Amino acid sequence: MKPETGNLLLSVEADEAYLRVVTAFVENAAFCFGLGEFEALRLTLAAEEVFMHLCRKATHSGSPLQIGCSNGGYFAQAVFRLPADSFDWKAFNVTASISLDDESELDSMGLVIASRSVDRFLLGREKGGELKLTLIKEKSYPPPPQVEPAVAVPLSKTVLRPVAPEELKFISRLAVSCYDAGALSDILLYPGKLSDMIAAGEYACLAAVGESGEIGGAIFWRRLGENMVECFGPYLFNQSSTSGMAEELLEGCIGAVARSGAAGVVNIGPPPGFPAAQFELLGTFDSYGPEGSSTSVEAWFRMLSEDTGATVWVHPELDAFIRREFAKLVLPREIRVDRPSGETLPRHSVLSAEFDRPRGRVMLRPMWPGGDAAENIARHVKLMKSENIPNIHFALDLGEAWQSIFLPGLLGAGFEPRFVLPYAGKGDVVFFQYGGKRQ
Amino acid sequence: MKSFPGLERLVPDYIKTFEAYIPSKPDDELKKLYGCSRLYRLNNNENPLGPPRTARRALEAFDSAGASVYPSGDCYHLRHKLADIFGMAPDQFLVGNGANEVIAFAIKAFCRHGDNIITADKTFAVYEWVAQFSGFEARLVPLVDYGFDAEGMLEKIDERSRIVFVCNPNNPTGSWWDARTLCSFLDRVDGRCVVVVDEAYREFVEDPDFPDSMSLIASYPNLVVFRTFSKMYGLAGLRIGYLAGSSEVVDIIRRTCVVYSVNTMAQVGAFWALDDREHVARTRESVRAGKRFLLKELDLMGLDFVHGEGNFVMTRLPMSDSLAYRKLMTHGVMVRAMTGFRFPNWIRISVSHLEALESFAAALAKILGERKRF
CA-CA distance, A151 to A160, in Å (whole number)? 19
For the stretch B269-283, pLDDT in tens is 999 999 998 999 999
For the stretch A259-280, pLDDT in tens is 888 999 999 999 988 999 889 9
Please list, in sequence order, all residues whose beta carbon lies within 8 angstroms of the beta carbon of residue B202, skipping any fewer than 6 positions away: B168, B169, B210, B213, B227
Determine the residue among B317, B323, B325, B349 to mutate to test chain A binding: the one whose Cβ has the most chain A Cβ atoms within 10 Å: B323
Cβ distance B99 to B228 under 8 Å? yes
CATH number at residue A420: 3.40.630
* Pairwise pLDDT comparison (B307 vs A84), residue with the higher score: B307
Within a domain: residue A275?
no
Residue B125 C-alpha, separation from nearest chain A C-alpha, in angstroms = 9
For the stretch A373-429, pLDDT in tens is 999 999 999 888 888 889 999 999 999 999 999 999 999 999 999 999 999 999 999
Residue A252 C-alpha, separation from nearest chain B C-alpha, in angstroms = 9
| Alpha-carbon distances of A90 from A97, A343, A347, B15, rounded to whole Å | 10, 20, 9, 37
CA-CA distance, B51 to B279, in Å (whole number)? 8
For chain B, how far is it from start to end, CA to CA, in angstroms? 58
Of the pLDDT bands very low, low, confident and very high (cuts 50, 70, 90), residue A308 is confident
Q: In percent, how much of chain A has pLDDT > 90?
A: 45
DSSP label at residue A58: I
- For residue A2, is pLDDT > 60? no
Same domain, A255 and A329: no
CATH number at residue B176: 3.40.640.10
Percent helix, strand and coil across chain A, each rounded to 5?
35, 30, 35
Reduce the DSSP state of residue B89 to 3 states and report it: coil
Same domain, B213 and B91: yes
Same domain, B363 and B269: no
Residue A128 C-alpha, separation from nearest chain B C-alpha, in angstroms = 8
CA-CA distance, B94 to A40, in Å (whole number)? 59
- Measured between beta carbons, the chain A residues lying within 8 angstroms of B345 are 251, 277-278
Reduce the DSSP state of residue B78 to 3 states and report it: helix
- Which ranges constitute the DSSP H helices of A200-315? 245-257
CATH number at residue B344: 3.90.1150.10
Q: Cβ of B320 and A302 within 8 Å? A: yes
Find, in chain B, the residue whose alpha carbon is nearest to that of A261. Answer: B19
ipTM: 0.83
Range of the domain at B314: 10-42+278-373
- Measured between beta carbons, the chain A residues lying within 8 angstroms of B331 are none
Same domain, A131 and A172: no
Q: Cβ of B342 and A255 within 8 Å? A: yes
- Which ranges constitute the DSSP H helices of A136-190? 168-178
Give the pLDDT mean for A105-111.
66
Q: Cβ of B342 and A330 within 8 Å? A: no
Which of A83, A106, A138 is the endpoint of a domain? A138
- For residue A437, is pLDDT > 60? no
Partner-chain residue, chosen from A259, A277, A278, that has the shortest CB–CB distance to B340: A259
- Strand-strand pairing, A264-268 and A228-236: parallel
Same domain, A337 and A240: no
- Measured between beta carbons, the chain A residues lying within 8 angstroms of B19 are 260-262
**CA atoms B107, B108, B109, B113: torsion sign:** positive
Cβ distance A255 to A161 under 8 Å? no
Same domain, B263 and B290: no
Which of B273, B295, B329 is the endpoint of a domain? B273
For the stretch B244-266, pLDDT in tens is 999 999 999 999 998 899 999 99
Partner-chain residue, chosen from A251, A306, A308, that has the shortest CB–CB distance to B344: A251
Find, in chain A, the residue whose alpha carbon is nearest to that of B330. Answer: A330
Q: Cβ of B33 and A305 within 8 Å? A: no
Range of the domain at A420: 310-438
Same domain, B90 and B165: yes
Same domain, A234 and A130: no
Taking alpha carbons only, the member of A60, A62, A21, A71 closest to residue A44 is A21
Quickly count: other Cβ atoms within 10 Å of residue B255's Cβ.
9
Using a CB–CB cutoff of 8 Å, tell me whether B325 touches chain A. yes
Interface of B with A in 12-31 (CB under 8 A): 18-20, 22-25, 29-30
Report how many domains make up chain B.
2
Report how many domains make up chain A.
3
Determine the residue among B29, B127, B329, B339 to mutate to test chain A binding: the one whose Cβ has the most chain A Cβ atoms within 10 Å: B339
Q: Cβ of B320 and A279 within 8 Å? A: yes
Could you tell me which residues of chain A have a Cβ less than 8 Å from any Cβ in chain B? 126, 128, 130, 251, 254-255, 258-262, 264, 277-280, 302-309, 330-334
Which of A244, A261, A278 is the endpoint of a domain? A261
Cβ distance A358 to A290 under 8 Å? no
For the stretch B7-58, pLDDT in tens is 777 888 888 878 777 788 899 999 999 999 999 999 999 999 999 999 999 9
